[in-house]
Structures are given as structure tokens and as C-alpha cells.
Structure 1
Amino acid sequence: MTIALLGVFVMQLYYIREAYILKSQLFEQEVNQVLSAVADKVQRLNAVNHINKKDLEWRIKAENQRRDRTRQLIDLDQKYKELERKRKYDQRKQMIDELNYQDEMIRKMYLSPTIISEADFYALENRATTPLNVDVNVGFDANLNMIGSNVQKTFRLGSVKTFDIEPKKLPDSIRYLVYSRYDSRPLRVSLPSLNGDMRLKFKVEDEIATRRRNHALKELQADTVRLLDEGSFSVIEAAAKEMSQLDVPLAQRVSKETLDTLLRAELANKNINLDYDFWLKSLVSDRLVFRKIASLRGEILPANTYKTALFSNDVLRDPGMLYINFPNKNAAIFNNLSVTMASSAGLLIVLISIFSYTLYAILRQKKIAEMKTDFINNMTHEFKTPVSTIMIASEALRDPEIQEDKTRVSRLAGIIYDENVRLGNHIERVLSIARLDKKELKLEEEDVEMNELIAAVADSMSLQLQKKEATLTLNLKASNALVTGDELHLSNVIYNLIDNANKYSIDPPQITLSTSNDHKCLFIDIEDKGIGMTKEQCKRAFDQFYRVPTGNLHDVKGFGLGLNYVQDIITQMNGTIKLKSEKDKGTVFEIIIPLK
């Protein structure tokens, strides 16, 4: 059983060790994956930062150039608008000059030219409704020569407009009402605002200006598109060129905060929630760049430390070495194994408990067997004495000579009777213990005055005490000694305790029996100056069949059932019994019984 238990214990330790190694390997694998992921992200972040930086520079540059181009476009638009305004102004001036010239010619060729509206101009076609009234007075001399004339005209103008109207508001044709210089007849004259040659000239000028503006705009837009294409193409090249610079230190390529953030995120993805320390060292100069821990002593790496090259893709520059340490790794792994370890410990506890109980039961059975053997030997010895006495007395009664002596017959008959009573008492004692074990012994409940009971038992044992010259001192000081119990069994309890004190004394026994009480309990003390007991013997004193060993001599009679009987009786009466003893100095039994 011991070998099997040790084997199970060793196997459990082996399995726990293997589980710990497996967990450690899985932890190491996950940490290495975390370091690889962090290194890869740092490299990509480094590249992205350079690209973003250059891209931002190019974007700013492109934005500035775009603003310049926008400004140029605005300037170009303003320039051509100014040229257009100037050109339109020149065109209007030419048109006005031409109109003024034509007006001057009309005024020279006709009399009283007047600008009329389009409606009035067409109204003159219908003479019946013409708004023109003309009175002509002509004077002649004696030779019938015209010496003077006077023309009066009355013309109802609808909306007569003078020639100083805004050029942009001029109609397509300017209508005149004029009078002939020869006969003063009213005439209509139409003057186009813009003649065909000038119109064609202005159209050509406008087309040339539009083509020039569109051409300049296309050239400006082509320069802007070419700039943007060149800029987007140069971002990657510029970033790669900057990343290949050899003199950029590690501290500028990655920050402590970035590394800490990436490590925490990757460890959380792997469900690793342990405290950690990390530091970054240069592989070229073997110099510490930065660290999270407060101090790093010596060159020896602490336990549970893992490392990886941070910029493993860099061939020319310092790749750097990232270290990470987990101070509480072992505790965390054992916490993960807590269920396994708890189940193993529980199984071992169960096995050890069963093993211990088995050993206890074996040893207890062995002791019980020894005590039963002693009990049988004692019982045989105790029974043999009265049986032998009865046999001898019976054989003597068969002698004819003794039969004639009635005195001797009466004495032998008394011996036989006493030995039978003694034998019956032994048997009754064994049967009482058996009934107590089976809870079949029913105790009477009656009022018992313990002081009187103790005095009566002491008086009945006087002859037995005198044989060993014992001294029994009674200190019955209890003012209230009335209890509820079985008088017979209580007397047996007192008898057994006094009898033990008498038997286990080498010198003439000195026994003191005292009583006292408080408001709840009665205290009975039986003290002797006998051989006493050791602590080990005191623990077993109330066991069945146990007797304090006295060597090879069988000078103390008994079955080892007395104290067990005393304890059972006192317990059933809701009392307690205590034992105090010291080897070779004596023993004290204290009985505590509740008062009525």
C-alpha cells in the first residue's frame, strides 16, 4: 500500500511537471509570436511614418503649388477679363466714332435730322396715321425768285431718344427722320449701329482673344497635372531614401511609448495579462537605448526573458534587440494549473486519508485483538478462581467424613454460595458493558443525594479497604448534592473509582473523596497517591478492555471495563468525567454532574 501510494504521488508530480513544461513551452511560443508581431508592426509603422511624412511634405508642396496655379488661373482670368473690357471698350469707342461720323454726314445731307423710335419709324409708312404735320411758306421776289422759305413741322414723338444713349443699349439700327434740302420733304433714314465690316472685325478680335485665353489655360493646367504625377511618384522613393540613412539612431526610429502600446495590445490578443518589463539595446554598440524597468543590473539576463531583433529587415543599419521579461510567469502558469493541481491534491488527500484510515484500523484492530486476548486471559483467571473454589468445596462435600460434620458442610456451602455470587457479578458486569454498547441499558431517573450515596458506598467498602490498610478521607462539602440519575449505577461508578484507587497503589492507599458545587453542577473528586499513569495511558484509560500494564504480574484483578463503564454512565446522565494523572505520583478523577 505504501509503495502504491508513493507511486501515485510520484506519477502525479510527474504529470504536473510535464503540464508545467508544456504550459511554459506554449507561453514561450506565444511570447515569441508577440515579439515577432511587434517587430513586424514597428517596421511597418516606421515605413508608414516615413511615407506619411514624405507624403505630407509632398502634399503641402503640391497644395502650395496648387494654390500658386489657382492664383495664376485667377490672375489669368483677371488679365483676360481686363483685356476683354479694354477690347470691348475700344470696340464700343470705334462703333460710337463710326456712328458719330455717320450722324455728322446725315446732318450735313439733310435738314433737321431727328432720331426716332422703331415704332414711330414704321408709323411713318402709313400716311393716314403719320404723326408728322408740315407747313411750308415760300417767299418770291419780283422776278419770281424764291427769296425765303419757312418750314414748320409738327411731329408727335413717342419716345425720342438722343444719340448720347449708352452704347450697350443701342438698337441694331438707328432711325432718323430727316427733311430733304431740295423740297423739305420728310424722309426716313436708317443707320445700322454696327456695320458688317466692323461686326466681322469685332468677331475676329473676340475669337482671337478667346483662343489665346484657352491656350494659356491649357498650358497652366498641363503644368499642374504634371507636378501632381511627379509628386506622387516621388513619395516612395523619398521615403525609401530616408529609411536607408545609416546615421538615424534607434531612439528616433521607434519610441518607448509605441513599443509599450504594441506589446500590451499583442499580449492582450494572446490572453497574456501578466506584468512585464522590456528594454531595447543596440546590437552595434551594446548600449541600452531605453527601458521600462527601473534598473537593469549586470550582464546576466533575468529569468523568463525573451528577445528578438526589432528591425530584422535592416541590413546596413543597427537592427536593435528588444527584450521582454515576465517576473510573475511561474506564478501565472501555476495559477493556470490550479485546477489540475487541486484535483491531484484532492486525489492524493483521499488516497492518503484512506491509507491512514486503513493503517489506523489495522493498528486499532491489532490493539483490540491484544486487549481482547488480555480480557479473555483475565476473564479466564477471574472465572477460574471461583470455579476452582466451588469444585474443591463440592469435592469436599462428597467426603463422608465431612458430610457428618454439619459445621464444615455449612461453611463449605457458604463458600460455594459466595463464589457463585462472585462469578455472577463478573458475568453481570460483562453483560452490562455489552448492553451499554448497544444502548440497551435503560437508566432510572430519580432523585439521588450524592453525599449520602458516597458515604454509603464508602461504608460498604470498609472491609475491602481494611485488607490493604487503605485510608479513605471524605470531604463532602457540597451544600447541594441532589442530582437526577440511577442510584444503582451511580453507586457502581463511585465503587469502581474507589476500587481502582485501592487496587493501583503499592503503599497503603491514601484516598481522598470530596464534593463541591456551584449553582449549576456538582463536582466529585476522587484522588489517590497510587502508581499513576503516563499521558499515553491517560488517553486510553477509558477504552474497553484497556488495563494499565503492571508487568508480568497479574496482581491487579479486573477486565479493563470499569472506567469505560464509568464514562458511559456519566455521559448518559449528561455529565463529564476528567482524568489527571502523573506517573508514580497519583491520579485524580473529577466527575461533573448537573444538579437537579
Structure 2
Amino acid sequence: MKNRIYKSVVLLSFLILLLVQFRLTYNSYVLRDRDYSVKEKTLINDEYGHSISEDKVYKGGGKIIDSILSKNMPALKKAYLSNRKDFVKLSQNVSNTLLKTLRKESTMDSVFQSIVKKNGLDSNLQYLLTFQQIDINFDNIIGDITIFDSHTDTNFDAGQITPFGVIIDGKLSPPNMQNRVTNLSVSGKLVYNYRVTFNLFVDSPGRTLKVAYQMLPTFLLVALCIIIIVGINYYTYISWMRQKKETDVKSDFLNSIKHEFNTPVTTILVASKSLHEDEVLNDRNRVNTLINIVERQARRLHAHINQMLEVSEMNNNINLEETDLNYAVLTLVNDYKIKIHEPNSLTFDPHDSEILVMMDPFVFTTMLQNIIDNSFKHNQSEVKITMLFITKNKDGYILHIKDNGNGMENDMKEKIFDKFFRGGKDSTVSGLGLGLYYVKQCLDIHGWKISINTTPEKGTEFLVFIPMGQITNSTND
């Protein structure tokens, strides 16, 4: 439960940090995007205003607007005062005519290129000129009347219409508030007053990528910061889990020590105390029985101490000798059979040829004995069977130790070689959790590998892999 809470807190903290970092980076990008080429925008805005100071939209645009509106103002007034439907229809016709003429007669290319050349600006700059709104005024009481805006139906294609009005000239796409240079509303006086509104957008191709490139150091620093934080959190979590595991292992070990050492010590103390009684001392049989008990428990205690010392003192300075694998296994099996009572059995099927291996006979014997001990110790079958045999493949030889014992779950297979780990919860099975740890240490010293095939309630098979490079003399099958 605590582990799950810890994971949740770490994950939530990381997500919040990621969100904050993303938000700050995005805001920085927006500010950089908004301020991109501010000087150029200001310069173009001023130059554009000067170039049409006595005109509208572009040079010659005022004459086009005046000529078209002057012809239609009386009709627009009459329609507005008499029939609003006719006014709407006439407004659309006038607007379409005006906009088409402005598009056709546009001189904006020459105006813009003149501004770029005069001020030494980037020749790759693109522009877009849009016509946004037309207002007319018949008298001050009625006020301004809009005959065209961005919501008015027109005869133009969708590609010629933007949220900022109808495109008059230019190729820049898309227009937005970041690349808008100017938004002008200019008035004119004919028989009646009018006001037109238009926009100029200027930008260089790939501005988004350029801004992103300018932000690249920031992006890299943010990414590095996130990676470092993730690494620190991961390292902290792994360290915490390792410490937790070590604490659990130590706790299990101390519990095992308490059980495994306390039992023989208590028995020895009780037996020793009994030996002080006159009634016991006068009974030779009872004395012998108590002495045997003390001796057995002392040997048990001695075995545990030796096992711990073997593990703690084991190192890479082993004494390698050329030894026949068949002989080493057979010798151990024959000695071990003395402790096995029928109908239980321990068998070994030697390989059909001599296998000379560089090994430390003592370490090998102790390692194999630990595996065989486990095969009988953790076996609740009525008839306990352990079989040993050797097979060969292209990479070397494999020593199999197979039993019909309790087996184990797959998630336990990687843990059983850990120091002090005890897979079974049966307190009647003695041990300190050092046997298979010692096995793994022995195999690592020899440079051998081990794997496990196991099925719960059906038994376990240990496979010790001996590479061909360590076989000094073998007969091909």
C-alpha cells in the first residue's frame, strides 16, 4: 500500500512539473512569436502609411473607391429609405464590384517591393492585403451603415476570403494577429460620407520554424531539466526499493537466525541443565540420551555457522583442477544416498563419455550438495525422487538436477538466488536462505550459468550450463 502511494505521489508530482514546464515554455514561445521582427513591422507600417498618405488601400485605390461609390450612393440611399431588401441586394452588388475592381487594378506589388528595396529588408518577405469593411453615412441622425464586412455574402471563392476580409492582393498565408502590420480605417467625402477598413499582413516564410529554432536552447534546457528530474526520481525510487528490500531481507534473516539458532541453543541449555540433576546422573541411559541430543544440536548449530562462513569468505581465488564431471557427480550422489531412506530415491545417469572440466572440486561439491539438499527439503511428496543426468549441445554440457517436489511460481525464480531469501513459508523447514545464494556464487566464480524449469506442485529442474571452452577433453557424441 505504501509503495503504491509513493508511486502515485511521484507520478503526480512529475505530471505537475511537466505541465508547469510546458506552460512556461509555451508562454515563452508565444512571447517570442509575438515580438518576432517587431522593428520590421514598425518600419513597414510607417512606410506603408506614407505611401498611401493621400490615397486608400494602395496607390490609385482611392480613385477606384470614390468612382464606384459616388455612382451608387443615391441609389443606396433611396433603397435604404424605401426597401431594405433592395438595399441589401444593392449593397452586395456594389461591394462585389468594388472589391473585384480593387483586386484587378491592384498596384500593391510595386508598393510593397518599393518598401522592401528602399529599407533593405529581407527579399523573402511576403504580404497580404485584405479589405475588411465599408461603411456609408447618409445623415448624422441615421449614422454609419455597414454595406460590407467579413460576414457579408460575396461572390468570391473560399480561398479569397479570410477572417480579416476579402483578399485584395498578396500570397502570405495564413494571416493572423502576429503578422498583421496595420489595420487602417480611412474616410472619404463624396455627396455622402464613407469609411473603408483594410489590413496589411507581412511575414517571412517559415516564421514558426525560425521562432522555434531561436527557442531551441530553451527547449533543450527544459528537456535536460526534465530528464535530470526523471533520473533523480528514478534513482531515488530504485534506492528506496533497494533499501526496503535489504531491510526486508535483514528482517527475514534475523527471524531465521532467531529460529534456527535459538532452537538448538535452547535444547542444549535444557539438556545441560538436566545433566546437573542427580536423578539423571544416576541413569546412564538418560545421560547418553541427553549427550546425544546436545551433540546433534551442536552439530546443527555448527552447520549453520559454517554455511554463513562459507558464503562470507568465498572469493574468486579458487583452486581449479581438471576433473571428470561424471566422477564428481557420481561420488557426491553415492555419498549422499546414505542419508536417503526408501522409498525415496536419488539417481544419476552418467554421460556416455568422459567430460574433463576445469573446476574447484570442493566448491563444485558444496554447490551441488546445496541443490540436492533443497530438492529433498522442499518436497512434500510421499515418495521423493531426485534425478541427475548430463546432456550436450553445441555450446557445452548441461547438468540437470530434477525433482518431483513442490515447485514454485515463476515470479519466485529470480529471487531464490538472493541472499537470505526463503521462498517457502513452512516454518518446519530449517535453513537461513543461504544455500542457493551460495550455489549462484559458486557458478559465477566458475563462469557457469544456471536456469530453472519449474511448475507448482509438479517439481523443479535446475540446469547448470558448462561452456565448451572449459571442457579440456571430450569425446564427440
C-alpha distance in structure 2 between counterparts of 1:496 and 1:311, whole Å: 93
C-alpha distance in structure 2 between counterparts of 1:339 and 1:280, whole Å: 35
Q: Partner of 2:27 in structure 1?
A: 21
Cα deviation 1:120-153 (Å, max 9, x = unaligned): xxxxxxxxxxxxxxxxxxxxxxxxxxxxxxxxxx
Contact in 1 for aligned 2:29/2:212 (Cα 8 Å): no
The match for 2:200 among 292, 317, 322 is 322
Q: Partner of 1:245 in structure 2?
A: 63
C-alpha distance in structure 2 between counterparts of 1:279 and 1:513, whole Å: 87
Q: Partner of 1:282 in structure 2?
A: 131
Cα deviation 1:28-74 (Å, max 9, x = unaligned): 23356544533544566789xxxxxxxxxxxxxxxxxxxxxxxxxxx
**What SS does structure 1 have at the residue aligned with 2:129?**
strand
Contact in 1 for aligned 2:116/2:122 (Cα 8 Å): no
Cα deviation 1:368-416 (Å, max 9, x = unaligned): 2232222222222222333344345444554556656666655654443
Distance 1:277 1:592, change over 3 A: farther
CA offset at residue 258 of structure 1? 7.1
The match for 1:523 among 398, 408, 411 is 398
CA offset at residue 424 of structure 1? 1.4
The match for 2:107 among 250, 254, 257 is 254
The match for 1:435 among 313, 331, 334 is 313
CA offset at residue 449 of structure 1? 2.1
Contact in 1 for aligned 2:130/2:199 (Cα 8 Å): yes
Q: Does 1:501 align with 2:375?
A: yes
Deviates more, 1:583-592 or 1:424-433: 583-592
Q: State the identity %.
A: 23
- Report the TM-score when normalising by structure 2: 0.66
Cα deviation 1:70-126 (Å, max 9, x = unaligned): xxxxxxxxxxxxxxxxxxxxxxxxxxxxxxxxxxxxxxxxxxxxxxxxxxxxxxxxx
Q: Does 1:368 align with 2:246?
A: yes
Gaps of 5+ in 2: 1-5, 54-58, 68-100, 135-147, 149-164, 190-194, 472-477
Distance 1:350 1:535, change over 3 A: farther
The match for 1:357 among 235, 242, 256 is 235
Q: Partner of 2:171 in structure 1?
A: 292
**Aligned AA (1:346):** L
The match for 1:426 among 283, 289, 304 is 304
CA offset at residue 489 of structure 1? 1.5
Q: Partner of 2:416 in structure 1?
A: 541
CA offset at residue 491 of structure 1? 1.0
CA offset at residue 435 of structure 1? 2.1
- Report the TM-score when normalising by structure 1: 0.54
1:54-203 pair list within 5 angstroms: none
Distance 1:336 1:470, change over 3 A: farther
Gaps of 5+ in 1: 48-239
Q: Does 1:474 align with 2:327?
A: no
**What SS does structure 1 have at the residue aligned with 2:268?**
helix
**RMSD of the alignment, in Å?**
4.3
**Aligned AA (1:281):** T
CA offset at residue 430 of structure 1? 0.8
C-alpha distance in structure 2 between counterparts of 1:591 and 1:265, whole Å: 85
Cα deviation 1:179-232 (Å, max 9, x = unaligned): xxxxxxxxxxxxxxxxxxxxxxxxxxxxxxxxxxxxxxxxxxxxxxxxxxxxxx
Q: Does 1:30 align with 2:52?
A: no
Q: Partner of 2:143 in structure 1?
A: none
Q: Does 1:461 align with 2:336?
A: yes
**Aligned AA (1:459):** N
Contact in 2 for aligned 1:531/1:585 (Cα 8 Å): yes
Q: Partner of 1:129 in structure 2?
A: none
**What SS does structure 1 have at the residue aligned with 2:260?**
helix
CA offset at residue 454 of structure 1? 1.7
CA offset at residue 548 of structure 1? 0.7
Distance 1:320 1:585, change over 3 A: same
Q: Partner of 2:456 in structure 1?
A: 583
C-alpha distance in structure 1 between counterparts of 2:375 and 2:415, whole Å: 17
Q: Partner of 2:153 in structure 1?
A: none
Contact in 2 for aligned 1:531/1:584 (Cα 8 Å): yes
C-alpha distance in structure 2 between counterparts of 1:259 and 1:309, whole Å: 13
CA offset at residue 541 of structure 1? 1.6
C-alpha distance in structure 2 between counterparts of 1:339 and 1:3, whole Å: 30
Q: Partner of 2:432 in structure 1?
A: 559
Contact in 2 for aligned 1:523/1:592 (Cα 8 Å): yes
**Aligned AA (1:379):** I
Distance 1:267 1:386, change over 3 A: farther
C-alpha distance in structure 1 between counterparts of 2:117 and 2:33, whole Å: 15
CA offset at residue 453 of structure 1? 1.9
CA offset at residue 564 of structure 1? 1.1
Q: Partner of 1:164 in structure 2?
A: none
Contact in 1 for aligned 2:351/2:389 (Cα 8 Å): yes
CA offset at residue 488 of structure 1? 1.4
C-alpha distance in structure 2 between counterparts of 1:543 and 1:264, whole Å: 78
Cα deviation 1:294-325 (Å, max 9, x = unaligned): xx8xxxx7767643448877867967433457
